Structure 1
Amino acid sequence: MSTQPQRKSFFLQESFSRRSFLKTAATAFAASGGLGLGACGSSLSGTGKNGTSGTVTIWDRSGDLFQVFDATIASFNKKYPDITVKHVPVDVDSKLPSTLATGVNVPDGAFYEDNNLPVLAAHYYDITDWIQPYTKDIVPFKLRVNTHNGRIFGIPWDLDPGLLYYREDMLQGAGVDPASIETYDDLIAAAHKLQEKFGPTCKPIHLEQDPGVSQLWVEMFANQQGVSMVNEEGKLQIDSQPYLNIMNFLNRVRTENIGTRAVYISPGDVAAVENNQIAFYPWAIWAVYGPDLLFKKTRGKWRAMPLPAWKKGGARGAVMGGSSFIIPKKAKNPHLAWLFYEHLVFSPEGYTHVYGPNKIYPGGLNTSLPSYLPALKKQLFQNPEGLGNQNLWEVATGTVKDIPGNFTYAPWYNQAISYFGANIQLLLDGKLTPEQVLQKSASQIQTNLIARQ
């Protein structure tokens, strides 16, 4: 256990999901008077389970995505009229681990966050042979996080590109051209110009205060530089120059007093946004959730652009979060589950129904992108009003080619929040230096997590 005092985190649990976090944070915001919102898997070759009739049980979280996925069943049944889809709303994070461990009432397929995938890898089917026709057309990052020991056992679903959200009107008022923000040094310089224009209460750059979310956030910055907490061989990479670049950036924002520290979309964060205190949000595409659904005064004033680079001319693409689908090793009908996910992820009928305008999202699902490259060729969701009808699809898809593919989630990723996530917060408290954050986190993870595997 860490000897450091622990901060309350939405993510200090066995597994976490950004969608659960969004739901929890939105509930807290509504309660405050804000807007209420409704690898060693078994190989499939030679199993003999390749029929096209029967019942397939699919687990998804209740809520918006469940309804979106549910609506694709009709088009699936046009292809496979003899397959009955039993679509079950489940608290996947809490129920899936114990179900896979006991082998009792195991579903045929389930939705799962990418950071949670390695923990239960031994319980997944090896789908390498089935997915092979599509692998060359899957975003490399997503294929990598679903691959263990050279075999594929997850069906990549959404891609969550990192973007820089900014207040267009505030930048115009301060004479800052968004195109001039090419590097993180440029972002700091722009933040100073905004503060000079709008006064000391304007601290333009969002600094994440939740330990779990801040670790996810930092991993986006790391992915942009082509690294992750561990490499493919499991070697720890935290105490390295790319991570030091990130810590130095966060420390500069803190010491130069140009950052507002808050939990993403918490009541305090939304208030700071609405009071013109925050003008820059380097985050995943799903931050559009704020301008679209939470922000009232500043709705329509936000825009998106690629992340700044760590050095001029460097990569401006990265990923923050994401989810996939898994087929349990003990599934009764694994091939039927594969057919369902093949339809959902890789067929135009499937991904168009999910991401295009639908009953749940009249303008389409705009908080992520498909990870299947052919699905990116034609705009699926509409331009969001929260961004002044900017073409978010064009901005986000334009970064995909720059997303480094060599990213690995450690099986102890969630447990590392008690160390790395907590130490990032100590940096923002001014209690640790950038170097100390990395050295201390690496030592704690090595001793308390890696050595005990």
Structure 2
Amino acid sequence: MTRIARRTFLRGVGAAGGALALGACAPGAATDDNPLTASSSGAELAGEITIWDRTGDLYKVFDAAIASFTARHPKVKVNHQAVDVNAKLPSTLISGADVPDGAFYDDALVTGIAPHLHDLTDLTAPYKKDIAPVKLGVATVDGKVVAVPWDLDPGLLFYREDVLQGAGVDSAGITTYDQLLAAAHKIKEKNPGARPIHLENDQFLAQLWVDMFVSQQGGAMTDADGKLTLDSAPYRTVLTWLDRVRGEGVGTLAKYTQPTDLATLEDGTQSLVPWAQWFSFAPQSLLKTSRGKWKATPLPAWTAGGPRSGVMGGSSFVIPAKAKNPQLAWALYEHMTFKSEGYSTVYGANSTYPGGLNTSVPSYLPALDPAKPLFQPIEAMGGQDLWKVATEAGRSIPGGYRIPVWWGKAVDYFGVNLQKLLAGQMSVDDVLKQSAAAIQKNLIDAQ
């Protein structure tokens, strides 16, 4: 079967950073002036729509979910197309030619195309209270919901069970980041060559990763008024801890799923990986000798009793303002996101994921029932019931996280400086102050 690692897609997102602002579109600008509303007609759904999804595993998963929709609405024809959405959608929205009726799009990019999307505030209103707050926040631009929130990518702590047991470390006792650091030292005492904690060596992914830790504290790069808040307590707390991991010699600096990363995961050099749920892809499809030895637990908290998860990544469905049949596109996405039959088809057992799609969980809270798992325990993770861990983590993510329109371009400053911090070439204070100054000057004031 063909699967695309989340890293492959996210690197494309990083490369697309220059397209985020969509030319002259102002950040935070309102979407179309005519919000999409529910049809007053009780007539049977009929018509034809074109839907774009990126190629790979999710295209196949969504294809099955679309089939469940058209089975209920046989007069609707869905032209489901696999395209490079990141590369094609921004330019298509600007030109206005051959615009799809709907598309699957990464949350980090949605703010950049918001002026070209339908306002879905009225349509999502009946579900608003049941959407994970952090997801509703990233789908809202200028007070309007511009995307149908699809998945949650909660942060978890992945660990090598055999390595921890060999060092006398109980994963259940790792409930704060101080305890995580202490566990790393205990593992290193057992094996001096170990550098247990993963430190991300990719500029884009490192920025996304740090935002996971920050969102766990209810923070973001901007506040509710759009003011830059990079040089703030949440970021300082995270970077100070990462600098300790580096300075105390208990971190492995490696690019996610690249050769060095995979080799050190396999040989036990790395055994503690705080990452998004989609790390579960690695033991299932990339790791060999350590397959079956990985488990997951909630992230540690920054303060005792604090939130045990943050958000790292995520995607939503968007409906372009120039779509020919936006009502039908909404009906499809409503089915896939908010109806049990739809989201169960997406996450349930299928030909691509026989045990169910397990690299994320729905953002629709009624779907996160621990007693009604949408995917099965994962053999490649020792048979662990990841559904229970991930849904509990998803429910615990604080609200307040926002993605500014220039987030991808900030990698040129903050993402780059993060790598200098992790290489011991910059201090925490310099990274925050210099990155904030550059972002303010080059990305905010220059607009």
TM-score normalised by the chain length of structure 1: 0.91
Name 2:299's counterpart in structure 1: 307
- Aligned-pair CA distance for 1:233: 1.2
8 Å CA contact 1:307–1:316 kept in 2: the answer is yes
Instruction: Please list the CA deviations of residues 112-154 of structure 1 after superposition, one character each: whole Å capped at 9, or x if unmatched.
Output: 0001000011000011111111111111111111111221110
Match of 1:131 among 124, 129, 135: 124
Give the corresponding residue for 2:16.
14
Task: State the alpha-carbon separation in 2 of the partners of residues 184 and 319 from structure 1.
Answer: 17
Q: Closer, same or farther in 2 for the Cα pair 1:119/1:10, shift >3 Å?
A: closer
Work out the CA distance in 1 between the residues paired with 2:187 and 2:37: 63
Deviation at 1:74, TM superposition (A): 2.3
Query: What's the secondary structure of 2:324's corresponding residue?
Result: coil
The one-letter code of the counterpart of 1:395 is: V
| CA distance in 1 between partners of 2:288 and 2:40 (Å) | 53
Give the equivalent residue in structure 1 for 2:282.
290
Determine if the alignment matches structure 1 residue 431 to structure 2 residue 425. Answer: yes
Alignment root-mean-square deviation, CA: 1.6
Q: Which residue of 2 aligns with 1:379?
A: 373
Q: Deviations over 1:391-447 (max 9, x none)?
A: 111011112232111111010000000000000001011111011100010000000
Corresponding position of 2:215: 223
Q: Does structure 2 conserve the Cα–Cα contact (< 8 Å) formed by 1:162 and 1:306?
A: yes
Distance 1:335 1:10 in 2: 30
TM-score by length of 2: 0.92
Mapping for residues 249-398 of structure 1, pairs under 5 Å: 249-377=241-369, 378-398=372-392
SS at match of 2:78: strand
CA drift of 1:73 comes to 2.3
Aligned-residue sequence identity (percent) comes to 53
Secondary structure of residue in 1 paired with 2:199: strand
Q: What secondary structure, in the 3-state scheme, does the structure 2 residue paired with 1:449 have? A: helix
The answer to whether the Cα contact below 8 Å between 1:43 and 1:127 also exists between their aligned partners in 2 is no
CA contact under 8 A between 2:221 and 2:229: conserved in structure 1?
yes
Q: 2:191 aligns with which of 198, 214, 227?
A: 198
1:44 paired to 2:38: no
What stretches of structure 1 of length at least 5 have no aligned partner? 1-8, 17-38
Map of 2:157 onto structure 1: 164
2:26 corresponds in structure 1 to: none
Q: Does 1:405 align with 2:399?
A: yes
One-letter code of the match for 2:82?
P
Which one-letter code corresponds to 2:173 in the other structure?
Answer: S
Look up the equivalent residue of 1:153 and give its one-letter code.
V
Give, in whole Å, the separation in 1 of the partners of 2:39 and 2:134: 31
Over 3 Å counting, the alpha-carbon distance change for 1:322 and 1:337 in structure 2 is same
In the other structure, the counterpart of 1:32 is none
Contact 2:13 2:86 in 1 (8 A): no
For residues 45 and 365 of structure 1, the distance between their equivalents in structure 2, rounded to whole angstroms, comes to: 31
How far, CA to CA, are the matches of 1:220 and 1:426 in structure 2?
19
Q: Say if 1:229 and 1:237, in contact at 8 Å, map to a contact too.
A: yes
Shift of 1:11: 5.4
* Rounded Cα–Cα distance in structure 2 between residues aligned with 1:348 and 1:95: 31
SS in 2 for 1:84: strand
Q: Distance in 2 between matches of 1:178 and 1:67?
A: 36
Q: Secondary structure at the match of 2:148?
A: strand
Shift of residue 47, structure 1, vs aligned partner: 9.1
Q: CA deviation at 1:42?
A: 3.6
Q: Aligned in 2, Cα 1:173/1:121: closer, same or farther, shift over 3 Å?
A: same
Q: Any gaps of 5 or more consecutive residues in structure 2?
A: 1-10, 19-29
Assess, with a 3 A threshold, how the Cα gap between structure 1 residues 115 and 11 changes in structure 2: closer, same or farther: closer
Deviation >6 Å, runs of 4+: 46-51
Letter in 1 for 2:96: G
